[in-house]
Structure 1
Amino acid sequence: MRRIGDSAIAAATALALGAGVWLLCTDTGTPPQPSAAEGRPDPGGERGAARALPASPPTRVRIPTIHVNAPLMGLALTPSGSLDVPPPAEKNLAGWYEAGTTPGDTGTAVVAGHVDNTEGPAVFYDLGALKRGTTIEVDREDSTTAVFTVDAVEVYSAKNFPDEKVYGASPRPELRVITCGGGYSKATGYQGNVVVFAHLTGSRPA
């Protein structure tokens, strides 16, 4: 099984998430974008790191501060080598890269979702508004909930997307939550991505 940290998959994933056709923009205003302050690593981020959980596929993601409560579907690579995405019409649906790390296990797990669709804001419209210290909860098939704490929230242009930083291997359980962001052009779509960096800080029965 190839992990998301592999350079070929990382490059393909960045291309898929940054492509203008990945999301459809509507006249819903501008999604929140992270401030420079939220992009700085949390100096206390290493505190409270929890022991890794056994591998188990995720079923739902919740981010209470921005009212996210969405089921998760598995995402694979398309025949062209880019990361597939949830159906655009399903605005309250996110996906996870199922060939990589499961959320809560050691390594870097990836969750992605749309910022909007033709009807308006979608599941991760407010992702850029998250702050360091925010809690992200991921329910798993083994009836546990993995609890992550946000370390940083950043926005990158597609042409300068840091593959290794976002998708690289980690010695502890980490999570990346990704949606489109940055500038927007009607001709090409969103110009980059909002990326949330988080690490596992606990778990409980689902």
Structure 2
Amino acid sequence: MFWSAVAVMVLMVTLPGGRDEASEARFAPHAPPAVEPYAPPATESSSPAHRHEGKYLARSRPTRLLIPKISVDAPFTDLAIGSTGQLTPPPAHDTNLVGWYAKGASPGEAGTSIIAGHVDTATSAAVFANLSELEKGDRFQVARADGRRASFVIDSVEMFDKDNFPSRRVYGDTPGAQVRLITCAGDYDRQVRDYTANLVVFAHLA
């Protein structure tokens, strides 16, 4: 499905930053007062205007994220939008865990699949500590419950200041099968207990 009225909304994601046990690091800025939080769009639609085109796989739950270049081999947990309108984070006590927005596209399915992980925790580096080392053309895979492995090629690796986070570009649905790997980045501001930026890896199904 493509952007419609939901395009003006903003997704807020909260993840612990890790350098302070009480810290929180958000993937996107707070929504403006007149705008409701944006949840990544669900994939179900029978409308002809919303039919996807291009290469993609059937829906299937992801089981492991495999990024050989940065030695990531991590299981998935489901993420959902909480009562505050924010995406719930993966449990911080497990440093080798990634989460996916389970009501959005699954990795390999048509649409934009959101995969989030911690860069660090209060005690150590976490699963996406080396995400910034990835480059355009690098590949990674997502093992799926249907027994298939979806292979993705990275299009770009970009850092965005949280005050200017491009929510539409990152979370907007796409006609093909795409993935966003997202974590915290930039400097850690102890005063506000937050990182100043987010790192986003844009990738498409190979």
Q: Same fold (TM over 0.5)?
A: yes
Q: Indicate yes or no: 2:135 matched with 1:116.
A: no
Q: Indicate yes or no: 2:156 matched with 1:152.
A: yes
1:184 CA drift (Å): 1.4
TM-score, normalized by length of structure 2? 0.78
Instruction: Write 1 or 2 for the structure with the bigger share of helix.
Output: 1
Q: Relative contact order, CA 8 A, sep 6+: which one is greater?
A: 1
Q: Indicate yes or no: 2:177 matched with 1:173.
A: yes
Return 5+ residue gaps in structure 2 as ranges: 21-53
1:7 CA drift (Å): 3.8
Tell me which of 172, 185, 199 is aligned to 2:204: 199
Tell me which of 83, 86, 105 is aligned to 1:79: 83
Q: Does the 8 Å contact 2:64/2:74 carry over to 1?
A: yes
Q: Does the 8 Å contact 2:18/2:124 carry over to 1?
A: no
TM-score, normalized by length of structure 1? 0.78
Q: Indicate yes or no: 2:134 matched with 1:140.
A: no
Q: Indicate yes or no: 2:189 matched with 1:185.
A: yes
1:142 CA drift (Å): 0.5
Return 5+ residue gaps in structure 1 as ranges: 27-49, 202-206
Q: Figure out how many residues of one structure are paired with residues of the other and give that number.
A: 169
Q: Distance in 2 between matches of 1:70 and 1:102?
A: 16
1:23 CA drift (Å): 2.0
**One-letter amino acid of the structure 1 residue matched with residue 171 of structure 2:** Y
Q: Does the 8 Å contact 1:62/1:138 carry over to 2?
A: yes
Identity fraction in percent: 40
**One-letter amino acid of the structure 2 residue matched with residue 55 of structure 1:** R
Q: Distance in 2 between matches of 1:155 and 1:149?
A: 18
The C-alpha deviation readout for 1:45-88, integer Å capped at 9, x for no partner, is xxxxx721001111110110000000000100111010001111
**RMSD value, Cα:** 1.8
SS at 2:10's partner residue? helix
